[in-house]
Structure 1
Amino acid sequence: MKKLRKGYLAALAILGSCGALMSTAIADSPFTDAKEAVEYRKDALSLMHANFAVMGDMVKGDIEYDPDIFQQRANDFAKLAGIPWAGFTVEGAMPGEDTDALPAIWDNWDDFQERANDLQTGADKLLAVSANRSLDSSGDALKDVARTCKGCHDDYRD
């Protein structure tokens, strides 16, 4: 449990840093070049994965279900769900050797944006359901989010 808490605290520290960046991003682009945009989106997606993985491990029974930690992770995941997408909008931040993003993202931009919105909707629902402190209902909501992630990864990730 201590290891889980340390990981959570590290993720919160990084999330706080992302929040500081996001507040400046509203006025100005936080990116100086395409490489920075790619790193930004990769970092945000990695944080999303870190939170999702803990919830997934609880649903699978790999670690003990703790409704407080599950809800904290769902909260962080929901906050993060809107962050990575700005990193896809920068000129030159398209596929290359440092990213698994496929050209199909930019070829089907409207669909990609719709899926990003679907992810946010699913993440918000997951957070709301996690407040019920039920592993079954939280697990169902998490599986819905997983399907949304998988659909996008199948079409837009190498």
Structure 2
Amino acid sequence: QRMTTPCSQARVLANCARSLWGLTSPYSIKSLVSLLEKDLLLSPSTHSLYQVAKLDPVMVSVPKWVGGGGQDFVISPLVFQLWHDQMGPGDRFCVVPEGSHFFHTVSPDWVATELRQFWMQHEDSVIEPIHDCEKSALNLYSSSI
């Protein structure tokens, strides 16, 4: 598949880098191309430049935070809509309109604020179960000694 394009691999990867990180990337295109070359060769992931895996939206019993970039060329608007439609009470769906696939590297302050608000929204409901879980783990550990 990679051999059928009339463009060089470097040119294709440079275009991918611009599309993935956007024009405001703090990284040079050359360093991003190098990173993408390594991903093509070494990535054990089912979702890479070579192959795209699909993660279907599902309902879960815990609150979820879903974020994305509005200018993402990897994840289509249809997929964002499917995730949005699966959101339940307490879930948070956030999109950076001008964000690329790696919106979190270009807008880390925005992501931090959104995640902080999400966790603060659930702070009271999450702390108690965590403490109960820790107690259970400690009891299990101390009974095995």
Higher helix proportion (structure 1 or 2)? 1
Q: TM-score range by the shorter chain?
A: under 0.3
As a proportion of its length, which structure holds more strand?
2
Structure showing greater Rg: 2
| TM-score with structure 2 setting the length | 0.27
